[in-house]
Structure 1
């Protein structure tokens, strides 16, 4: 990363001299996994409870989906913003800010009288959990720790629809929408370890942050209105590219986006997410049509291959920690492509579920393995920014996959 690197302000001595900082022992991977995993409740948790929310609010289910759309937009926008905050103010400040957003969003969700307030609460939770997840990934110190964090995201995501349905039955659908607040259970344990990360000495790049936010916002809406959003994304992309050349040490460090291994890792993660989340939306209609299963049975059946992918990914990431990057760049996409091919060749329910297991394993394993390589491809001071941009690529894939999968039906 270009620009100077400084220590966290909380560790700087009173006389203004900059001395070496010895960070305490890193937070245990289990706490980092708990810090990150509940983000998936906001993405997948509302799947089965939106009709209940719509009915109680006097809305259509389509209108109620703005709750999920707001969360998706917020995690996409919040991921690079949180990384920028961590780079300039340190992990502790970024953790506290992200936690406050999650808590405020959860409270607003629980008491919101109408849809606009619910959308705002969902967006606040998305911004906060995006920060907590990005910070958790940046604090991992090994491939095993990264594997546990990404496996938690996949595992929670696979069970989130059923968990949300159970919580809604017991406590109401508002409580189910507030499940991302569970990430705060890990906050005291992580903060007790006094996490310290290198800080950027560069002046805050407000134009760069605004341009990146505009670009991400346009990209998030491309699947919903590709003409208008695509044009906006093209304009924002050109403007952002020009600004990046003029300010290489700005909000997005040019050293990160110019690192070949980082670009390859982020690109592979994007493609794996497109395939996996696209399969998650393409398979239910096929199972309902060819097996005659009800929606409840389909949802329960798909949970198992997704859960397998999330749990098994931890072992795969640990086993491939020392594998050559080229092997990873070829292996995980081939595994995902095999799942797509299998689904295209057979309509037998068991085969379709195996196909989902393959794409889930490829995406969950690839996310952890490539995140480790992406972080290692840049200087320590640029690691938070790299993790933020890497997660952004994966989340954009999660947005594009379902849209692509539903094109034939549209």
Structure 2
């Protein structure tokens, strides 16, 4: 039996009858004609807050809840915060280190370098003056020694003094080169340490920002775990769902459908009916999500969670309802009166009249509307059936 046949059978099998223009005794003939139909899928659904914004723990650690369950908050309000004593201690230490490094770099690359260069210049000029005097004295002693006026050993002593002065001047030149390289290396190391410290300080700032959980939009905070809310916080793992941010007056449900129903869901009109006799309310679809079920998907079966929202009042929260999804069939379809159907062994037939002869044809049926059933296969518009 088709879905439509089952539907009208459940409704009691009582349908209005429509008399044909020409009829023979004990027989009514019906001409199959096109009619408009609506596809409909109905599900039992549980009403919760509509389209809640899920909030999760941003990091591992001890999280303190700063607002009560059901508190109204504005976008940007801090609703929870991690313990940050250790971070703040490290932040203070790093700030002091950074200030010290900046002062040392400024000193090394400024006054220290200037004064050291000045000292080196004085030493160089002193060394050059001393060497010039010894060299002049040596020239004078060479002249005197050539005239036999001084002993040769005194000339040799002066030569040795000049060689020592030259060696000291060379040593001082190499020492200046080495000191400059060492100064450059020291400044480079301090600048590297400063960069690392500043980067870590920025990281701490970001960690502190992440430690504070802010409301992403206006709404009401509903904590997921009553025990956590009662305790005012606790140890949490990163990614743990902790709260929902909901909009007052907005309610909804999540309804699961298989592949076969999704053709109706796309673009459907949605209504939500309640058991207390109140008028059904219009709802809208806000999201469709494929259910992650690898086992069923390997079998070629897919399911989807469809979220709907609607405006309502607090009496609807946590109640049971019927969620109806309906969509008009794109084009009118062949329709047969329900009274012209025959059932046998779980199958549906109709008595077709053709060329003055009648015979049973098996039907595939669809939706029901105003006492008529949509014919998916077995008959077409213009065919005549006999009741």
- Structure with the bigger RCO (C-alpha within 8 Å, sep 6+) is 2
Task: Considering fraction of residues, name the structure with more strand.
Answer: 2
Q: Which has the larger radius of gyration?
A: 2
TM over 0.5: no
> Which bin holds the TM-score, normalised by the shorter protein?
under 0.3
| TM-score with structure 2 setting the length | 0.17
